[in-house]
Amino acid sequence: MINARYNPFSVAIHWVMALLILTTWSIAIVVGDMPLSPERIAGISWHKWLGLTVLFLVIIRILWRATHPAPKLDLKMPIWQEKVMTLTHVALYLLMFAIPMVGWLMNSAKGYTVNYFGLFDLPDLLGKDKVLGHQLKEVHELLANVLIALVGLHVLAALKHQFIDKDGLLSRMSFSRSNTRK
């Protein structure tokens, strides 16, 4: 049986975004406990730049997916697993969009203009409101932690399919040419 593979662009953007999300989240964890210093400021800048890159890429990814539907999945799974898979994918897309947007809103409310790698400034989306900025920070962190938990679930499901079910599902999102399963 053959499971159709994603096209090379979809595979590339999937793995680039996975790396960016894990890196962005890790930077936030590291700089979150640092005292104010040039290193912390640099870390926060990189966190913002990579977070905005995730936002830009998820927009591209959504547009791409709208014109290039996912390949047919030829697996027999219990209905509850199919529903969890669908809900997880929807949640991942929503969070990849919402988290950087909330971060941008948070910065606006805190009175910080967001720029992209020093190339251009993004417009402030809100007026300065420190209380709202703090609330948005809490929402940003909560959503980021939910995203990481869902990424973990996504990885565990892929590993289950690869090593327990041995159904070749992981090959759909790989760069290898093989797409058959035994």
- Cβ atoms of 109 and 126 closer than 8 Å: yes
Q: Kindly report the CA angle at 90 between 89 and 91, in degrees rounded to 5?
A: 90
Specify the number of domains making up the chain: 1
Q: Is residue 32 part of a domain?
A: yes
φ, ψ of residue 90 in degrees (nearest 5): -60, -45
Q: Is residue 136 part of a domain?
A: yes
Packing angle, helices 38-67 and 8-32, rounded to 10: 150
In sign, the C-alpha dihedral spanning 63, 54, 137, 91 is positive
Q: Is residue 163 part of a domain?
A: yes
Q: What value does the mean pLDDT of the chain take?
A: 93
Domain region containing 63: 8-173
Q: Is residue 145 part of a domain?
A: yes
Write down the residue that tokens 């700089």 correspond to. 31
**What local confidence, expressed as pLDDT, does residue 180 receive?**
44
Q: Is residue 182 part of a domain?
A: no
The CATH number covering residue 100 comes to 1.20.950
The reported pTM is 0.91
**What local confidence, expressed as pLDDT, does residue 36 receive?**
95
Q: Is residue 156 part of a domain?
A: yes
Query: Does 181 have pLDDT greater than 60?
Result: no
Query: Does 76 have pLDDT greater than 90?
Result: no
